Structure 1
Amino acid sequence: MIRPFKVQDADLIMKLWLETNVSAHSFINADYWRNNYDSVKEMLPDATLYIYEENNVVQGFIGLMNAYIAGMFVSQQFQSKGIGKKLLDHAKAENSNLILHVYKKNEHAVHFYLREGFVINHEQTDEKTGEIELEMTWISRNRNRNEHE
């Protein structure tokens, strides 16, 4: 089930944030993620967070800053089970358009977002990591249809 973030979720989702980032971004030194842990945790109150939980186990979450997907993370043991799609579908239901950045080398995530209807707008270099990242957007088809009617 998807539910809103509760303050008591903070430590658990930050652990998930760190583990998932280190695992998914082997091309970036793990210290980068560890060094950003506290600043990301401080930003949690500014984001809209949705938690995916089953049997009282948090399995993933998505963080939004308005229509910007600041991040989506699914615990390694629960990946490839449709949780990311459910979280993304929830975000799509709440927004008529979405934007995100994803590292080009994170091919699994890039393919996932393309499959889910996102398009690549452009590439840029992340100044903090030196890695190429893609800016991707999704626009609701219903919104386009309604605008043309």
Structure 2
Amino acid sequence: MSQPIIRLARADEYDEVARIWMESWASTGLEDASDALLAKLRARVPMEVEKGWSLYVADDNGKLAAMLALHLPDRYLDQLFVAPEYQGNSIGRQLLAFTRKHLPDEIWLRCVRENEKAWHWYEREGFVFEKEEVEPAIGRFMKYYRWRND
């Protein structure tokens, strides 16, 4: 498999971005894929872009392999989701390297506490746990992490 190209997402790809987001989230086992979840994510993508997301995709010769959403002014990595069929192929690591190029000094992120695979991965990638608190909007405990280029 060739390395996907990371590029800005186009508005006509937002539905596919939402599908990748849902399928990757469902692959954690924390929520089932559903029409309702897909509809919620499809509505959220353009809203978040309007609110300041820099939305990127990993493009594998015309097929989207992953999505990455950054809030660059806040140094915030908001979403990083790899399509299940692409997981384990270092695309997450490629997206994280891309993020570090755009945010070379500091990055912070939040991870659902039950998504152990994700937060263990971030720890292996040099992120340091800072705190854990409940996110009222979703009713889940979130773990906060920060990476600094010290």
TM-score normalised by length of structure 2:
0.83
1:83 corresponding residue in structure 2: 91
Deviates more, 1:127-136 or 1:111-120: 127-136
Q: How many residues are aligned here?
A: 140
2:11 corresponding residue in structure 1: 7
**Letter of the structure 1 residue corresponding to residue 46 of structure 2:** K
2:137 corresponding residue in structure 1: 128
Q: CA deviation at 1:42?
A: 1.7
Q: Secondary structure at the match of 1:61?
A: strand
Q: Secondary structure at the match of 1:98?
A: strand
Q: CA deviation at 1:34?
A: 4.6
Tell which structure's C-alpha radius of gyration is larger.
1
Alignment of 1:73-112 (within 5 A): 73-95=81-103, 96-112=105-121
Alignment of 1:1-149 (within 5 A): 1-24=5-28, 26-28=29-31, 33-34=37-38, 36-37=40-41, 38-45=43-50, 46-66=52-72, 67-95=75-103, 96-141=105-150
TM-score normalised by length of structure 1:
0.84
* Structure number having the greater helix percentage: 1
Deviations 1:88-129 (A, max 9, x none): 110001112111100111011011100111000001012133
Contact 2:127 2:145 in 1 (8 A): yes
The runs of 5 or more residues in structure 2 that have no matched partner are: none
Q: Output the aligned Cα RMSD.
A: 1.9
The runs of 5 or more residues in structure 1 that have no matched partner are: 142-149
Q: CA deviation at 1:68?
A: 0.7
Deviations 1:6-33 (A, max 9, x none): 2222111011112222332x33576784
Q: Name the % identity.
A: 24
Contact 2:14 2:45 in 1 (8 A): no
Contact 1:50 1:62 in 2 (8 A): yes
1:130 and 1:18, CA in 2 relative to 1: closer, same or farther beyond 3 A?
A: same
1:76 and 1:125, CA in 2 relative to 1: closer, same or farther beyond 3 A?
A: same
